[in-house]
Amino acid sequence: MKPEKIERRPSIEERLEALRDFFPEVFTDGRVNVERLREVLEDSASDAPDTEHYGIRWPGKQQARRLANQPPHVTLRPVPKAGVDEDTTGNMVIVGDNLQVLLALQKSYASSVKLIYIDPPYNTGNDFIYKDNFAVDEELYLQDTRQADLHGRLVSNPQTSGRFHSNWLNFMYPRLAVARSLLSDAGSLWISIDDKERSNICAICDEIFGEENRVATFVWEKRTTRENRKVFSVNHDYVVCYARNKDQFQAERRMLPLSEDVLGRYENRDNDPRGPWQSVSLNAQAGHATKDQFYELTLPSGRKLSAPPGRCWVVTKPRMEELIADKRVWFGAKGDNTPRRKAFLSEAREGLTPHTLWTAEEVGTNDSAKKALNSLFGGVETFDTPKPVELIRRIVQIATSKDEGDLVLDFFAGSGTTGHSVWLENQAHNSNRRFILVQLDASIDEKSASAKAILDAGLDTIDKITCERLRRVSKALKAEGVKGDLGFRVFKEDSPALARPLHLAAEQLEKGQLAMFKEKLAHVQPADLFTEVLLLLGFPLDTKREQIPQDSANTLWRFEHPRVPQPLLLCLDPKIDDDLLGALRDKKNHIFVCRDEALTDVAKARFYDALKLADSTFKVL
């Protein structure tokens, strides 16, 4: 028997071949005949083809869908010494094109992210700054849909373009489609957006998530000053929220902490031993009342009182008497006021129900965020319109738990506000949330007013600003005595070394590409391949590793993560001695991986048989 080969995610062509194996009759001239496939599936298909249906359509949509189902063209490599507390942290910053990074993470993080927050380009006509390293088929698609020039660089999207909205939708659709697969059942996606593309982002999210999973649209007061130059002074943006499963999200949705204003309403006017309380009304509108809610009360002062005209008591008379006996009804200091129920702070719920209007006073503005960021960087202006930490903290408060180690993802990381916000929220509640931030190494616009100061500080790409902010925040919080995980590791996208990318055509391989990849593998250090192996096998980036001492001359590594049922034993040596087999026999229920060329065919057979007896899996690269 031979060990399993580690394979990358199958391409569209390979999946079509699998379909051909099961349903050869649905192929005509090498292409899928959809109507014939519908006939074969019978009850699983609708009664008649849909020639018209409700939804949003635009040029390039079909290919945008395909991009979300392509295998990744990149892997990730760690960047040593670029982060903080790298040996102990569970936080990650990944430098690369966010679509390719999301695809690379898909196997390892499927259904495991609790919150995704993104602040994508607002499509103002000049803010596409991405410069992706695309595969050939993707480059042609982006050129065809006017997203990229002939050199593969993403270009600005002028409003004069006939595909102005289409270009932006083609950019966003595949990223959102992959993002959904990363969310847990109770997970949610939050998108900052302006009015120009709000309706379109909702339309594609309705399609990807299902309209039934649209949670809410929040209005955020992004500025408090008036723009007199404009026809209307636009003082707000939106935050759109979708859930993987709305019912699950609502069941786990968190309350907002009680504000100082709310806490100020509680006092103890009668020295009740149960502590501070506030009074709430005991009468309500009478429209749906029963006859048991209409009765006369005798106040402590002796005065007789019924509910006001058109209203009724909230509770029945027996229940009212129970509340009075338990000293839960307040009749005023002289016992002559309309009764009100005492709501004790000690018995209050977790907090306040979130509302959908977020004011500048509550969550900050672009201007307050810019001033705070400039101060953090010693007066150097880095971003014109960053999001305030208070805004992202509110989202984190609502969408994540403070004691379950929830994972937060932001794949338009920008200045790193999301990571900063997670740390502050962890600090406030002694929590252990983790984050993954993804940011392209896009160059700083040298024409901007603040470019010189940024470049002089050595921050010539946006990802460097992201990491520098996190380093400064981490240092400041530690100086304040804050404990917990205040570190992060940095990874960067790279071309795979362990297997050829599946998007390369056969004729390209005949020209020497396969030899090129074998040559690259020979020169890559084993430690640099760890992450690539982990992602191929579905292990998260924060998987713990240790070197296992054993008698063999080979180096054996053990990787283990709570989310993966079997630990991984990995040996990347170019040749494996027979002595290693003895050590593997004693280790039950694990995955053993080595290089294909490290064992002869006879040795592979012996390894396979021995590992099978140990209820283990044998794979080769």
pLDDT tens sequence across 384-413: 889 999 999 999 999 999 888 999 999 999
CA–CA separation, 615 and 589 (whole Å):
5
Token duo for residue 162: 């006939």
| Structural domains in the chain plus CATH codes | 4-64 (no CATH), 65-257+352-494 (3.40.50.150), 260-347 (no CATH), 508-620 (no CATH)
pLDDT in the model for residue 151: 41
Closest C-alpha to 258, from 278, 241, 237: 278
- Tell me the pLDDT tens digit for each residue of 236-287: 999 999 999 999 999 999 988 877 778 888 999 999 999 999 999 999 999 8
- Tell me the pLDDT tens digit for each residue of 210-231: 999 999 999 999 999 988 877 8
CA–CA separation, 607 and 611 (whole Å):
6
State the average pLDDT over residues 131-142: 43
Predicted TM-score (pTM) of this structure: 0.81
3-state DSSP assignment of residue 478: helix
Mean pLDDT lowest among 359-373, 394-408, 520-534 = 520-534
Query: Virtual CA dihedral for 27, 29, 33, 36, nearest 10 degrees?
Result: -60
In degrees, rounded to 5, the angle at the alpha carbon of residue 454 between the alpha carbons of residues 450 and 456 is 120
If residue 306 lies in a helix (H) or strand (E), which one and from where to where?
A: strand 304-306
State how beta strands 434-439 and 31-32 pair: unpaired
Q: For CA atoms 352, 354, 358, 360, give the dihedral sign.
A: positive
CA–CA separation, 367 and 373 (whole Å):
10
CA–CA separation, 81 and 67 (whole Å):
34
**Cα-based distances in Å from 312 to 282, 342, 360, 410:** 9, 18, 39, 50
pLDDT in the model for residue 501: 43
Tell which wins on pLDDT, 162 or 176: 176
Token duo for residue 147: 């997203």
State the average pLDDT over residues 57-67: 87
- Tell me the pLDDT tens digit for each residue of 298-355: 999 999 999 999 999 999 999 999 999 999 999 999 999 999 999 998 887 667 889 9
CA–CA separation, 413 and 245 (whole Å):
25
Percent of the chain that is helix, strand, coil (3-state, to 5): 40, 20, 45
State the average pLDDT over residues 476-499: 92
- For the chain, counts of helices (H) and of strands (E): 21, 25
140: amino acid identity, one letter = L
Q: How confident is the model at residue 7 (pLDDT cuts 50, 70, 90)?
A: low
pLDDT in the model for residue 146: 47
CA–CA separation, 338 and 311 (whole Å):
13
**Cα-based distances in Å from 110 to 178, 183, 246, 563:** 10, 7, 18, 11
